[in-house]
Each structure stands twice: as structure tokens, then as C-alpha cells.
Amino acid sequence: MKNTVKITDNLHYVGVNNHFLPKFENLFPLPEGVSFNSFILLDEKTVLFDTVDASATTQFIDNVVSVLDGRPLDYLVIHHMEPDHGANVETIIKMYPDVKIVGAKYTFEFLEQFFSDAYRDNYHLIKDGDELVVGKNTLQFHAAFLVHWPEVFVTYIKEQKVLLSSDAFGSFGSIKGDPFSDVTPINLSEIRRYFANILAKFRRNVSTLLKKIEKLDIEILLPLHGLLHRDKETIDMLIEKYHVWAKFDVEEPGVIIAFVSMYGNTANAASLLATKLGLAGVKNIRLYDLNSVDFSYIIGDVYRFSNLVLLAPNYNVTLHLTAQHFLTELEYHGFTKRNYSLIANSTWGGRALPFMEETFAKFRDVKLVGEPFTILTKLKEDTTTNLDNLAKEIVKSLE
């Protein structure tokens, strides 16, 4: 049974939602599921933009067949060959053996790795800036190298002012109801979490793409995941957010308190610090137990807020392994342009505080707020005073 939506007179949504997929790339939690977006343009030639994940094949094929309504498929545009979008490429080719497959050089290399080299006669190679006229509509292709795979490009339908943006501007979360964000409210936190964990490793490439599309008049924005956008204010807001995130600029003042606690003492210190900051007027405070909250949520907030406080204990003469893992995440993301504060907890020996200090010393353009200190097992008068002083310094740093 088809489940499609008309976007314009001749552009149709044929994507599919998976409301139950537990993790994206078997890594990032999906409490609200995820959508796999795909589109068909009906002109003198028919064009399918991307396929969907293998978990959604049956509904996707029903949608495609319904919208084509007996017409052949002339072109299959593959913006991104990753299996959440490319899993059904071979299925489509077998259904429509004369289809021309539109892709970049690496698109076809990856296609042959996933499937075979049996479809080379179908290849239609495009380069940055190429155009393809399919009737009344012209498809304009713009390379988006490493946003977030090497073969990625985006398509601008000139006459309709539609940008099919591949993974850029996507979001976690399935579509529940109307697919447009002017009807169904967007979840900016999930858009940010998607950017931070999927695209941000290649922030410079995102900035390059933003420079390319700033010359385009975009009235409809169609990412491969999440809601679709046709409201100018929303489109402008998303582009502006991408500029901020791509530069790792601070989105707004706020404090993330991330902690590891083995027996509750470090957690108590983290909670007390949050209380002190709140009583001092700080509005944006996030308190995260690193052993309970998936890092993808914390990294999303790292891209949002100005300050990070890390509290962690010694463990077998070094820093607790969960905290080490979190520091590895920060290194992976090129943590920068943020204020940070450090608190260790120790009962005997260990290098927890030096380990944290040495790691943060590697980051560029970061600022230490307050003096790092070590709690000896649990807060007492001297370390509570240190916590008071740290809270005051953090408040000053937010001004």
C-alpha cells in the first residue's frame, strides 16, 4: 500500500520511515526512529532521487511503482551510496534495467563494491557544476565531497528552487504525520545531534558546501533524513545554524557538567556544582552521567554551549576509562573554542587530573576556567571552598 506525499506538482516523496530502528549506523540511539527520504520527479523524463535502507524495501518499492504509475524510470540519482540510502539501488536497476544511474566517480566505485560491475553501461557520470535537462526541469549538481562520504553531491532543481541536500540538514527521528516542518514542529536538538555525530568530523567540507549553496535561491529543502522544509525562515535558520556548527562557534552560553562516579561522591560534587550555578542565575545547565547517557547527546550539547566541566575519578592509577573514552570523543571532534574546567577524585594514587590536563592542553583555542583540583574521596570543607570558587569563575566566564 503506497504512502507518498506530493511536494510540488511533479515532485513526490516516496521515502519510508522506520519508527523502530534502535540505532543509526548501529551506533547512535534512535528513540524516535529515523526516516529514509527519497523523491521522484515526473517530467519528460522520470527521476528517482536515492533509494532507502534495506529495512524499508517493501514500502519503498510500493511507493515508487505507485508514483511512476506504469512509466519507465529514466534516471536514478545517487547522492550518497551509504546503505541507508543505497541498499535498494540494485533492486531498482533490476526493475528498470534501462535506467541511467547518475553519480560521481566514487559513486560507481562504491556501487561496484556493494553490488557488482555489471551495470557500467547504465552509468551517467557527473562532475561539480554539471547540469541535466529532464524536460521542463534542469538538475544542477554540486559536489559535496566528504559531507560525509567522498562521493556525496547535492542537486538543485533550478526551475522549482528545490535543493536535495543529501545528508546535509538531516535529522534523527522518523516523520510522524505531515513531512513539512511548517506543519510538524522540528526538533532542533536532534538536528544538532545528527550534525555533531554524523557530519561534524568534516566541518571544513560542510563550510565549503555552504559557500556553494549560498548563491542558490532555495524555496524547498529536502534532506535525506528528517522533516522537509519549505518555510523560508526555517531554511534560513538551518543554514545559519550550520554556519555556526561548521565553525564550532558557541551557539549560546551554557554549562555542561559531565561526570563519572563510581560510588556517588563525584556525582554529589557534580550535583552541588549544578545547584551553585543555578542559584547564581545560570539558566542553561546540563548534568550528564557519562556512564548513563549516550555520548551522542552530550556531543550535541558540546556544539551548543560555551562551557564544559569534566569530573572523573582515578581508576587503577589512571583516569577512569569512561572518562578517557569521552576525551577520545572530544579529540575526534576537534574540540575547540570552548571554556573548560576540571575536577578529579582520588582516594589513593593515580593520574586522573594530570591525564585530563594533558588532554585538554592539546586542544586549540580553549580556555581553562578556574583552578583544577582533586577531591580526596568526598567533598570536605577545603574542596567545597574550591567548588564555590569554581562556580564563581564559571559564572564570570558566561558574562
pLDDT score at 350? 87
Assess whether the region 5-246 and the region 255-397 belong to the same CATH fold: no
For the stretch 187-231, pLDDT in tens is 999 999 999 999 999 999 999 999 999 999 999 999 999 999 999
Percent of the chain whose pLDDT exceeds 70: 100
Does residue 142 contact residue 209 with C-beta atoms inside 8 Å? yes
First to last CA, the chain: 56
CA dist., res. 340 & res. 257, Å (int): 10
Does residue 205 contact residue 144 with C-beta atoms inside 8 Å? yes
Task: Report the run of H or E that residue 191 belongs to, with start and end.
Answer: helix 188-194
- The CATH architecture annotation of domain 255-397 reads 3-Layer(aba) Sandwich (3.40)
Does residue 321 contact residue 290 with C-beta atoms inside 8 Å? no
pLDDT score at 44? 98
For the stretch 347-392, pLDDT in tens is 998 899 999 999 999 999 999 999 999 999 999 999 999 999 999 9
Question: At residue 301, does pLDDT exceed 90?
Answer: yes
**How many CA atoms lie less than 13 Å away from 180 in the CB half-sphere?**
14
5-246 CATH:
3.60.15.10
For the stretch 24-42, pLDDT in tens is 999 999 999 999 999 999 9
- Cβ partners under 8 Å of residue 227, min gap 6: 171, 175, 179, 180, 181, 184, 186
Domain-wise residue ranges, the chain: 5-246, 255-397
Percent of the chain whose pLDDT exceeds 90: 99
Question: At residue 257, does pLDDT exceed 90?
Answer: yes
**pTM attached to this predicted model:** 0.96
Residue 345: name the closest of 324, 386, 314 by CA: 314
Q: Which three cell numbers stand for residue 215?
A: 548563491
